[in-house]
Amino acid sequence: MEILNQQSWGTLLLACVIGLLIYSMEVDGEPVATYLGQRNQFLKSEIGEGVGAKLVLNEKEKRVDDILLAAKRKEVAQGFSETFPPTVNFLTGKPLVEKSAVFDIIKRMPKGGILHIHEISIADPWWVVQTITYLPHLYYCVSDDYFSSLRFKFAGTVPQEKPVACKTEWALVSESRAALGSSYFDQLLYHNLTMVTDQPDEVYPNTTMSWLRFQQALLSLTDLYFSVTSFDLFVKQSLLQMIQDNVQYVEIRTVLFPLQELDGTIHPPEYTLQQYIRIAEEFKQQYPNDFAGLKIISSSIRHPVNRPLIKAQVQLAMDLRKKYPNYFAGYDLVAQEDGGGPLVDYLNELLYPLEVGSDLPFFFHAGETNWQGTFVDDNLIDAVLLNTTRIGHGYAINKHPAVLEVVRSRGIAIELNPISNQVLHLVHDLRNHIGASLIAEDYPVVVSSDDPAAWGSLPLSHDYYMAFMAMSRETTGLTLLKQLALNTFKYSAMTASEKEAANDLWQAKWNIFLDETLAKYELTETMPKEEL
Amino acid sequence: MEILNQQSWGTLLLACVIGLLIYSMEVDGEPVATYLGQRNQFLKSEIGEGVGAKLVLNEKEKRVDDILLAAKRKEVAQGFSETFPPTVNFLTGKPLVEKSAVFDIIKRMPKGGILHIHEISIADPWWVVQTITYLPHLYYCVSDDYFSSLRFKFAGTVPQEKPVACKTEWALVSESRAALGSSYFDQLLYHNLTMVTDQPDEVYPNTTMSWLRFQQALLSLTDLYFSVTSFDLFVKQSLLQMIQDNVQYVEIRTVLFPLQELDGTIHPPEYTLQQYIRIAEEFKQQYPNDFAGLKIISSSIRHPVNRPLIKAQVQLAMDLRKKYPNYFAGYDLVAQEDGGGPLVDYLNELLYPLEVGSDLPFFFHAGETNWQGTFVDDNLIDAVLLNTTRIGHGYAINKHPAVLEVVRSRGIAIELNPISNQVLHLVHDLRNHIGASLIAEDYPVVVSSDDPAAWGSLPLSHDYYMAFMAMSRETTGLTLLKQLALNTFKYSAMTASEKEAANDLWQAKWNIFLDETLAKYELTETMPKEEL
């Protein structure tokens, strides 16, 4: 070694480094090339198993796919160094989503139908504040719950009955607004009708607190919704915002509460259904190219104290199904499953339709929980044994292999609601949402939004963004989005001819979407793709 | 109606309520009974698919199972109203775990082997502070990283080389301890060697920050471990704590760094391996009924800058495998996968053993990420295509159906490390850990602990608790725990005869565990089961 001087050592070192570099670039050697061939095959077969993988895109769709994938790749790459929006609570992450080019494309895309959404949480809560709470004859009181939530009532004169669970007497909204100033008062109303906050982790540190606030917001909205005074306005606005978000069809879950007149007269639930039908038909006339229709799923509250009511509500649902088969799709039980009232507690009631030969379809919420093998998530077993048409949420389904088998073999669609599950504490980082594996393995799924108004999301776009960005490969593009849209018709309660009509309406909008996306984003000589 | 007076109305109401109650109890009517029969069948078939479901417990095991399930049911029920320990970061949730009767039983249970653990993070860090850092000739400096972590070096005299990435000069630990007071100084050392903190959400708000602190702790431990001065003590203590935690066998992943003498002389990596072998053999002599042996998996750092080293390390692994087949199990690449250096970047190196006909087994880390379809989680594909024997973590595997198929058909065990994945931000609520679905579907899995010292957990018990409480049905008991223990031998790198010997050793301890559990917990006339 001593024969080498310092310079020679340097030369030797340089030679070594170059040698290593050359060696390291030799990745196209024989075994490596063979390996890479096998790897491509493997990857292809795996990707081939996912939702939409079998769709063949036409030339125009392929060009849109290129644009979409360029944007997705860029945003995923950013996610390695900056905040990836699906990984933070939507209540704080929403502005990040809205900067996304992927989101912009998804917003413009016709997304098919919403198959899991609750009646009161479709219309933008700020619109509710600005319009519904400005209607005359609206009273309110302050509830004694932890969040001092508000209860409302439309009434011709001060309501006679004492406010339930309120620590104040009834007061007129218009008078308090005048006294406190509309700016302050309307903000207060807005926060009362939603879970929106800048500090979700502090305000809702756990499932219990998030559900508490959520339920209070829903109670307030329910008060505002089921009144003859507000109902038409509320429903029309809900449908309008839906088509503005490029959604063509909806199956609304509703408690079908009676509508109340200002003088206290109440109409039967059937009247509420009739109003939905009337409004939907008028809306269809008004927007024949945008709106393919609406169906109703009636929902009982699953709380144990409601048990005596369930049988009557099931019977009502059977009647309504018979009388309004084109509009009344079926029956469900709703409310936080962790709180009790599992399906197995209502067997007499839920087996009754079968016993008497009714064709009432079920659309059960089931498995909206992180628990495993408890009375809560075993709802999934009862849902499929009771022959549910779809499953609402199904978040615990990956822990139930036998349920997964039934779901696949019978084509029972799982209604995924990503943002709802995040805000209500089932999952923090949406990349951990079970939708990822369900989509990878082509289970029957639809993406929905549950209660978008409660957290300030659009009727469907934000949830599609989450499913697309957090629950599919970086390399999966338009095939997934298109199939998700098609699935909403496929797994809907529509008849074959209704599906065909909805598909035609959607296809026309799809073609426009492709052209508009190309016009806005396609690579031109003056605008490189990096501008996405 | 007017013929009914107020009293009559009351009577009618009471009659209605009683009628409803009777009606509501009529759950054993014909259709309900038939349904419940079907439901039981369904549940039985689903449960029959899980890990351990096919084990038949003997009479004594059944009695222990009863005790275990009573405790589990009680703790799950508490979880509905109080904090369920697996749902909070282990750094704050550890004291909750340690109140659990289930945990007490799991601690006493012989758990088989640990198949995924890193050499430096087995021994209790407080022992490291109290023993290793009290050895003479230990120098330290303060690093310039965000957390001002410490670097260490055993040396006969002040180290000549300038401290790498340190903002201070080398100083003697003994002198600083004397100057600052041992109580303060030792606490400082402890926090430097671990991620332990009361406020994990504030200190480590995201994956990047938790990995940063984690890596710094590992660097400090590495400095303290790979010295002739400390190595024997360190390894022996690691094995001792392992058997104290009722673990019988271990496969240690190690970087096999050279051991350094106080005068700066360094031994080759083979010497390090030889020391492991010698210490393990001595330990086996000392604890013949508790310790079934140790094997070594050498691990290269996957960072791209290390690439030129990988080939040499693979070749070394091939040599060591040939020379020490009973002790040297195979090869792995380690470090945060999100940071780069995916397996596909090292194809020349990793295909080399196959090319030259070496039998070097791989034990790859793969899929320790929340990303999907990126260079990171596609490591899972390369792991199985490169014929890995097991998969470390595999957290993203539920997004890779083709990999899942290979894993099942080839019996490639997935090494689950629940607490590691929680502390390092892959998943917050451990009920969302992919282990739940893997266990429900009887995929080949073992439960392991990765770097228990870094977060202050026992070598294996805390992780078994998490898998048991967060990733199985409320009604799943001893069959799962027993199968998890048996799996650690089944999927180990031991030969058939070694497995037999380990099983015999384990079985003897298992029998003692059953007797002790019955003695401590079984229902007697003076102690009702509720005392659990």
Specify the pLDDT at position B164.
75
Structure confidence at residue B5 as a pLDDT band (50, 70, 90): very low
Nearest to A385 among B29, B39, B374 (CB): B39
Task: Beginning with the edge strand found earlier in the chain, give each strand of the sheet holding A150-154 in spatial order.
Answer: A150-154, A138-142, A171-172
CB B212 within 8 A of CB B143: no
Chain A: give the shortest CA distance to residue B38, in Å.
8
Residue in chain B closest to A425 (alpha carbons) equals B429
Residue from A475, A465, A448 nearest A93 by CA: A465
Per-residue model confidence (pLDDT) at position B524: 60
Q: Say whether pLDDT at B401 is over 60.
A: yes
HEC string of B484-497? HHHHHHHCCCCCHH
Question: Which of A139-148, B7-16, B347-356 has the weakest average pLDDT?
Answer: B7-16
Chain B residues with CB inside 8 Å of A344's CB? 39
Residue B328 has pLDDT above 70, yes or no: yes
Residue B251: which pLDDT band, with cuts at 50, 70 and 90? very high
- Above 70 in pLDDT, residue B13? no
B507: Cα within 13 Å, side-chain hemisphere: 6
Question: To 5 degrees, how large is the angle CA B202–CA B208–CA B213?
Answer: 70
Helices A461-470 and A59-79 pack at an angle, to 10 degrees, of 70
Determine contact, residues A293/A260, Cβ cutoff 8 Å: no
Query: Where residue B1 falls among pLDDT bands split at 50, 70, 90?
Result: very low
CA distance B288 to B286: 6
Whether residue B461 contacts residue B47, with contact meaning beta carbons closer than 8 Å, is answered with no
Check: pTM over 0.80? Answer yes or no.
yes
Q: What is the mean pLDDT of residues B18-38?
A: 66
Structure confidence at residue B306 (pLDDT):
74
- Of chain B, the percentage scoring pLDDT greater than 70 comes to 93
Which pLDDT score, from 0 to 100, does residue A10 have? 46
Question: For A129-166, what is each residue's pLDDT tens digit?
Answer: 999 999 999 999 999 888 899 999 999 999 988 777 89
Q: Which residues of A touch B470 (CB under 8 A)?
A: 372
A421, A357, A418, A411: which is closest to A388 by C-alpha? A411
Residue B368 annotated as catalytic: yes
Name which of B24, B344, B373 is nearest A475 (Cβ-Cβ): B373
Determine the pLDDT at residue A164: 75
Inter-chain CB proximity B31 and A355 less than 8 Å: yes
* Cα separation, A232 vs A238, whole angstroms: 10
Mutation target for A interface from B89, B424, B437: give the one with most A CBs within 10 A. B437
* pLDDT value for B523: 67
Find out whether A342 and A379 touch, Cβ atoms under 8 Å.
Answer: yes
Q: Which residues of chain B does A440 touch, with a Cβ-Cβ cutoff of 8 Å?
A: 398-401
- Residue in chain A nearest B38 by alpha carbon: A385
Looking at the partner chain, which of A35, A429, A473 has a beta carbon nearest the beta carbon of B385? Answer: A35
Instruction: Choose from B28, B36, B431 for mutation: most chain A CBs within 10 A.
Output: B431
Q: How far apart are CA A437 and CA B107, in angstroms?
A: 34
Least confident of A166-175, B103-112, B374-383, B523-532: B523-532
Query: Does residue B168 carry a pLDDT above 80?
Result: yes
Burial B492-508 (b: 16+ CB within 10 A, else e): bbbeeebbebbbebbee
Q: Does the distance separating the beta carbons of B385 and A49 come in below 8 Å?
A: no
* A161 has a chain B CB within 8 A of its CB: no
Q: How far is A361 from chain B (nearest CA, A)?
A: 18
Q: pLDDT under 70 in chain A at which residues?
A: 1-29, 523-532
| Structure token pair of residue A443 | 């289970």
| Strand pairing category for A138-142 and A150-154 | antiparallel
Spatial separation of the C-alpha atoms in residues B476 and B169, rounded to whole Å: 56
Residues of A with CB below 8 A from B381's CB? Answer: 39, 42-43, 46
Average pLDDT score over residue span B163-180: 93
Contact (CB<8Å) B348/A429:
no
What type of residue is A3?
A: I
Q: What pLDDT is recorded for position B30?
A: 84
Q: Which of residues 373-402 of A touch B (CB under 8 A)?
A: 373-374, 378, 381-382, 385, 398-402
Give the angle subtended at the CA of A52 by the CAs of A121 and B379, to the nearest 5°: 105
- CA-nearest of B431, B482, B473, B483 to B44 is B473
* Whole-angstrom distance, CA of residue A321 vs CA of residue B494: 64
**Beta-carbon contacts of residue A218 (< 8 Å; ≥ 6 apart):** A118, A120, A121, A451, A454
